[in-house]
């Protein structure tokens, strides 16, 4: 029998309903989905509106100040609707970034850090442990709060072309955390150091899904490029193993820091030649200025990125590439911006998403004195988006 939360014990109360929502990425929403499955397995029923729910759960994103503000507003609205008796459980990346805020909420019952969902057993009564709840590969019943205040994305910016693929795919989390210390990033405070799932476990999950008819897999993690370093293997071996589970398997790889892949270009080329079907790769480069990459502590060069992209591009529309750019990083000069624009024009057949630099407390860039003024960040972002709109030549993934 799981631990019984102190204030529930002996009260005779029957706590039966819960409401759950998230503004986070697929990784946090898959965690929220697993919590849904846990709550249902323990006899709670899910309600679609938080009014008078016994438990209110929110998996919050803190990637930028807009996400953080949005999460806080959503949590406050939810608590107001839920009423004084409801109990609040917070999950996701906001917990570490906004520790004091989270712990100032009077209804807070507890927090669930990424990858630490077992903790819920100390907050919710039940007899089915979290360890017996399988990791979901689809999100079916978590309310998703969209970031409404953000600029309307360009057509090809939406999920970098992955959206169509995602409608018919399973998302498998292959690792959590990373081994990097990018100077702008607060995500790592919540997600911690790299913990990879063994290849046998991942292929076991994919094989089960394949038997049920799924042939498309998105492999994700905070940094899939680092996958396996802690286990003495690597991402390419994993991709080979997943692709060999049966005919017609298609793979997408999400959030791959180029740091680990630039030195493996030859191996990637061989992998793609060996009929491994990688349909989509998401490789966030953040800038195409070597000076900015050094300031961001990304540990790769634009030359390395070019070689990496060239390999994937050589497989044409069969393999789509999606990247992220940060605009207005501290110390960014107009020359740095021009370097990135030149790159976009040269690599016009890949998907881009461009984001304004967002100052995150506790990061190295937060302490930087040479901040780009906010109006200039937005002006530069507009310029980048103008170039993207003008150069975009992409078509959707075939057959998706
Ligand atoms: S991992 Fe990043 S994008 Fe996902 S919820 Fe956390 S901060 Fe947001
Ligand atoms: S690789 Fe860099 S950006 Fe990604 S989670 Fe780690 S520190 Fe953050």
Average pLDDT along the chain: 89
Confidence of residue 393 (pLDDT cuts 50, 70, 90): low
Residues of the chain above pLDDT 90, percent = 78
CA distances from 217 to 202, 251, 296 (A): 11, 5, 31
Look at residue 317 in the predicted model and tell me its pLDDT. 73
Residue 135's pLDDT is what?
A: 96
185 lines ligand 2 (CB under 6 A): yes
Closest Cα to atom 4 of ligand 1: 25
Closest-lying ligand 2 atom to the alpha carbon of residue 257: 1
Q: What is the pLDDT of residues 122-136, one digit of tens each?
A: 999 899 999 999 999
Note the pLDDT of residue 391.
85
Region of poorest pLDDT, from 139-143, 176-180, 229-233, 295-299: 139-143
Above 60 in pLDDT, residue 5?
A: no
Q: What is the pLDDT of residues 63-102, one digit of tens each?
A: 999 999 999 999 999 999 888 889 999 999 999 999 999 9
Segment 367-395 shows an average pLDDT of: 88
What is the mean pLDDT of the segment spanning 34-50?
95
Q: Name the percent of the chain lying above pLDDT 70.
A: 88
- What's the predicted TM-score (pTM) here? 0.90
Sequence-separated (6 or more) residues with CB below 8 Å from residue 293: 286, 287, 300, 301, 302
* DSSP character at residue 287: -
pLDDT at 329 over 90: yes
Is 267 buried (19+), middle (13-18) or exposed (0-12) by CB count in 10 A? Answer: middle
Angle at 300 between CA 292 and CA 285, to 5 degrees: 65
Whether residue 91 has its Cβ less than 6 Å from ligand 1: no
Cα separation values, 151 from 157, 375, 385, Å: 11, 15, 11
- 172 within ligand 1 shell (Cβ under 6 A): no
Ligand 1, residues 63, 112, 189: which to mutate, most atoms within 8 A of Cβ? 63
- Residue 337 CA to ligand 2 center (angstroms) comes to 22
């Amino acid at each position: 029998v799981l631990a019984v939360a102190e204030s529930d014990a002996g009260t005779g109360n029957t706590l039966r309903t819960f409401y759950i929502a998230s503004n986070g990425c697929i990784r946090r929403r898959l965690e929220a989905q697993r919590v849904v499955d846990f709550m249902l397995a323990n006899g709670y029923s899910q309600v679609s509106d938080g009014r008078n729910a016994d438990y209110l759960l929110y998996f919050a994103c803190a990637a930028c100040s807009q996400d953080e503000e949005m999460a806080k507003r959503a949590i406050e609205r939810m608590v107001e609707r839920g009423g004084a008796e409801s109990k609040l459980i917070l999950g996701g990346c906001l917990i570490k970034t906004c520790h004091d805020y989270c712990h100032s909420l009077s209804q807070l019952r507890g927090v669930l850090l990424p990858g630490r969902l077992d903790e819920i057993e100390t907050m919710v009564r039940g007899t089915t442990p979290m360890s017996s709840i399988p990791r979901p590969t689809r999100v079916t019943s978590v309310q998703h709060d969209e970031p409404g205040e953000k600029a309307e994305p360009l057509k090809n910016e939406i999920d970098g072309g992955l959206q169509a693929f995602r409608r018919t795919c399973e998302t498998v989390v292959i690792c959590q955390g990373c081994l990097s210390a990018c100077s702008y990033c607060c995500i790592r405070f919540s997600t911690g150091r790299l913990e990879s799932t063994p290849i046998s476990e991942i292929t076991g999950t994919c094989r089960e899904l394949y038997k049920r008819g799924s042939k498309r897999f998105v492999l994700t993690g905070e940094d899939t490029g680092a996958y396996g370093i802690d286990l003495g293997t690597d991402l390419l071996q994993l991709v080979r193993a997943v692709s060999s589970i049966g005919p017609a398997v298609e793979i997408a790889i999400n959030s791959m820091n180029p740091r680990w892949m630039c030195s493996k270009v030859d191996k990637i080329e061989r992998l793609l030649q060996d009929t491994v079907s990688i349909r989509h790769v998401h490789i966030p480069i953040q800038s195409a200025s070597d000076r900015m990459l050094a300031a961001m502590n990304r540990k790769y060069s634009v030359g390395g990125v070019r070689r990496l992209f060239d390999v994937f591009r050589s497989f044409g529309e069969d393999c789509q590439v999606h990247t992220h750019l940060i605009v207005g990083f501290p110390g960014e000069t107009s020359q740095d911006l021009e370097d990135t624009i030149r790159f976009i024009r040269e690599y016009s057949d890949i998907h881009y998403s461009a984001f304004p630099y967002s100052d995150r407390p506790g990061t190295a860039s937060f302490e930087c004195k040479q901040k780009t003024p906010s109006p200039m960040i937005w002006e530069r972002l507009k310029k980048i988006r103008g170039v993207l709109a003008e150069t975009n030549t992409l078509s959707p993934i075939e057959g998706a």
